[in-house]
């Protein structure tokens, strides 16, 4: 008799506005790697660690809020690149704070080398950590940090 496999625990990767344009938009700041490639790399790394990585992108604040709320019920961790909403969205901040799913804030660029309005984050105070400035590798570093946290503190 075949045994049923337990589904892999999920890590959700949520990409905010304009990240669908990666590889085309301001490549001097964001690099040439596109979102599909980043998602593929994360999926492979997650699978190797025993997790299913679910990636989503939206240009709409409310949709990102909905996904964060859903992730609290379905995922064991979140990687979130809120993009411009990082600096403006109390709603996204409150959605993160409303649950107990650890969240890592991610940015491709070093926000502190950019315009002053990008230096502040509504999300960072309610996130496990922030990874910024490593290009596409920011996501991989954030995933490894989240996995390390989960292996120490969660029963996944």
Which residue numbers are catalytic? 30, 107
Diameter of the chain measured on Cα atoms: 62
The Cα 111–Cα 101 span in angstroms is 25
Q: Which of 68, 78, 96, 111 is nearest to 10 (CA)?
A: 78
- Cite the DSSP H helix spans in the chain: 27-30, 35-48, 61-74, 90-97, 137-153
The Cα 14–Cα 81 span in angstroms is 6
């Amino acid at each position: 008799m075949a045994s049923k496999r337990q589904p892999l625990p999920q890590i959700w990767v949520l990409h905010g506005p304009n990240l669908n344009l990666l590889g085309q938009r301001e490549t001097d700041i964001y690099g040439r790697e596109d979102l599909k490639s980043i998602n593929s790399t994360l999926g492979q790394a997650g699978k190797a660690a025993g997790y299913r990585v679910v990636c989503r992108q939206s240009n709409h604040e409310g949709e990102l809020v909905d996904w964060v709320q859903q992730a609290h019920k379905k995922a064991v961790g979140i990687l979130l690149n809120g993009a411009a909403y990082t600096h403006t969205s109390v709603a996204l901040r409150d959605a993160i704070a409303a649950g107990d799913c650890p969240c890592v804030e991610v940015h491709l660029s070093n926000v502190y080398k950019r315009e002053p309005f990008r230096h502040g984050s509504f999300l960072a105070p309610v996130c496990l950590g922030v990874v910024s400035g490593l290009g596409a590798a920011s996501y991989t570093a954030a995933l490894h940090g989240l996995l390390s946290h989960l292996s120490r503190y969660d029963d996944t």
